[in-house]
Amino acid sequence: MRPLLGLLGVLVVLGTLSSVVRTLVIPRPSRSSFTRVVSGALYIPFQAVADRCRSVERKDKVLAPAAPLSLLLTLVLWLAAFMLGYALLEAAVSDLDAKAAIGEAGSSLFTLGFLSSHRSALTAVDFCAAATGPIVIALQIGYLPSLYAAYASREAEVTLLQSRAGSPPWGPEILARYAQAELLDSLQGLFGNWERWAAQVNESHTTYPVLILFRSARSSRNWLVSLLAVLDAGALQLAFNPSSPQTQVRMALRAGFVCLRDLAEVRGIGYNADPSPEDPLDLSYEDFLAGVARMRQQGFPMERTPEQAWPDFRGWRVNYEALAYLLAHHIDAVPAAWSGPRRTPSVMITPTTPQNRRPAAH
């Protein structure tokens, strides 16, 4: 039995070490089955409770702690797995029973030392365990600032978009508000910012996939819905005004749907990598006309009619619509306009129309 215990102990220690390195050390997308299972298992009860909530605010409040708690649980289970693995190794190289082996492994792993042995075989295992515990805890401590810095960077641009697109954001509302405020000349800057934002989110959220489940500070804000709104605004701008500057808008659209594809791969969500511009949309033409009416109401200039613009808009949206809808369903994002269905029937929330008030001239 001792060789079998030793082999099992080595497998547990090396498997847990692999999970730690993949999650905390390697600066690139590297999926860990351990962390994925822990996060998924913890999320199930939270999602089950959220599915029974009637209001968006209450559902968001239920789901908000799930992702942060998964980080804490992952650290605890990593240490527990290491303790089990080293206990198996302790038992394999000695005549210790299960209780004594776990006690000595825990004593070494947490550097307490109250059960350390003078036997050379056990001492070697104790040294390895004593080095493992502080290293794993230190890596986790260093991991959290990077994680929350990426979260803060993501949310800053999402919060800025609230005044430009309402809450929750909506593509036509972005163009309508820019037209209302006579800021159409600054649209290129908006798309330039969101091109960089999409690249940063792609990098951080594929490296640290748990960030995908981190929710915004307010239930009406969501990073995915914000990205979808910016992409829709870009597609509408290109479809209605083909003579306007296009480079920055096209780059933002490209960065946006590449970001969505990479995040879908990290979450194991399948998608069509080469959609046809002629593929149908889930967004209906009637909903498209409702968005166009909102833009026209605020004086957004249009070189084309809705009938002329629809094929081009559809050709752009087909690149990201299905992915955005799947991810929005997956993370149970706020049910915003043009963002697809959710896990439970929800009332679509549209931005409140702002009053066009200006200071009186003196």
- Looking at the domain assignment, is residue 155 inside a domain? no
Question: What are the φ and ψ backbone dihedral angles of 336, each rounded to 5 degrees?
Answer: -85, 165
In the predicted structure, residue 290 carries a pLDDT above the cut 80: yes
* Average pLDDT for 220-236: 95
- Looking at the domain assignment, is residue 210 inside a domain? yes
- Looking at the domain assignment, is residue 153 inside a domain? no
Total count of domains within the chain: 2
Question: For the CA atoms of the chain, what is the radius of gyration?
Answer: 26
Cβ proximity of 244 and 237 under 8 Å: yes
pLDDT tier for residue 306 given thresholds of 50, 70 and 90: very high
* 114 and 29 housed in the same domain: yes
Over residues 93-132, the pLDDT tens digits come to 777 777 888 887 888 887 665 555 555 666 788 788 888 8
* 74 and 196 housed in the same domain: no
- Looking at the domain assignment, is residue 356 inside a domain? no
How far is Cα 40 from Cα 330, in angstroms, rounded to an integer?
Answer: 12
- Predicted pLDDT at 44: 92
- Looking at the domain assignment, is residue 122 inside a domain? yes
* 185 and 289 housed in the same domain: yes
Question: What are the φ and ψ backbone dihedral angles of 276, each rounded to 5 degrees?
Answer: -90, 140
- Predicted pLDDT at 117: 57
* 227 and 302 housed in the same domain: yes
Pick from 98-112, 255-269, 312-326, 332-346: least confident = 98-112
* 91 and 206 housed in the same domain: no
- Predicted pLDDT at 343: 86
Q: For residue 260, give its domain range.
A: 166-331
* 111 and 196 housed in the same domain: no
- Looking at the domain assignment, is residue 315 inside a domain? yes
Cβ proximity of 220 and 277 under 8 Å: no
SS3 336: strand
- Predicted pLDDT at 90: 83
- Looking at the domain assignment, is residue 147 inside a domain? no
How far is Cα 239 from Cα 82, in angstroms, rounded to an integer?
Answer: 57
* 93 and 23 housed in the same domain: yes
- Predicted pLDDT at 112: 63
* 99 and 201 housed in the same domain: no
- Looking at the domain assignment, is residue 234 inside a domain? yes
pLDDT tier for residue 360 given thresholds of 50, 70 and 90: very low
Question: What are the φ and ψ backbone dihedral angles of 349, each rounded to 5 degrees?
Answer: -105, 125
* 325 and 196 housed in the same domain: yes
